[in-house]
Amino acid sequence: MILRRSRKQVMASLAVLVTVAGVAVWSLRDARVEESVGLLVWGVVCAIWAMFIALAQIRRSPLGEIDEQGITLNYIFSRMRIGWNDITWFSAPPEKRAAIIAVRKPGDAKEHYAVVSRSVFGDAQVAAIRDAIAAKRPGLPDQPNDAQVFS
């Protein structure tokens, strides 16, 4: 199963991209006309911000994939492959903004964490990941063994 953004998420992200890019262009144009350092700095910051929004749309499409071997999550600068047997615990409380997948690969001394943001993935995709993990790893704990709670 391929994890994709909903049409609503794509349109909202594109609206933010157009707005931020427009502010960047306006600020850079006004900085040149008025010779304002403050507008120049603001324009550059907005241009970099717009670049990251565009990069996230291109690089994270699709967001990930669920298959028989595990889950692949695409981040902006990396891709994380999680095998079903590598998952040590999984937490996705509905009141929290993100789900956490704790991963310990063979030979690793400590756990690594994959964060699945509800604002990026959406509730339906987080539920699909939760259901896939529950199907492949029934009885998996929803918090670390030492009862450390993340808030």
| 55-59, 79-83, 99-103: range with lowest mean pLDDT | 55-59
Residue 14 has pLDDT above 90, yes or no: yes
Question: What integer is the mean pLDDT of 110-120?
Answer: 88
In contact, 90 and 130? CB cutoff 8 Å: yes
pLDDT of residue 9: 84
Residue type, 112: H
CA angle 147, 68, 146 (to 5 degrees): 5
Cα-only R_g, the chain? 20
Question: What integer is the mean pLDDT of 43-56?
Answer: 94
Q: According to DSSP H, which parts of 75-116 are helical?
A: none
Verdict on whether the full-model pTM lies above 0.85: no
Q: Which residue has the higher pLDDT, 87 or 145?
A: 87
pLDDT of residue 146: 60
For 52-76, the three-class secondary structure string (H helix, E strand, C coil) is HHHHHHHHCCCCEEECCCEEEEECC
Nearest to 10 by CA among 73, 63, 75, 79: 63
Nearest to 120 by CA among 34, 60, 44, 55: 60
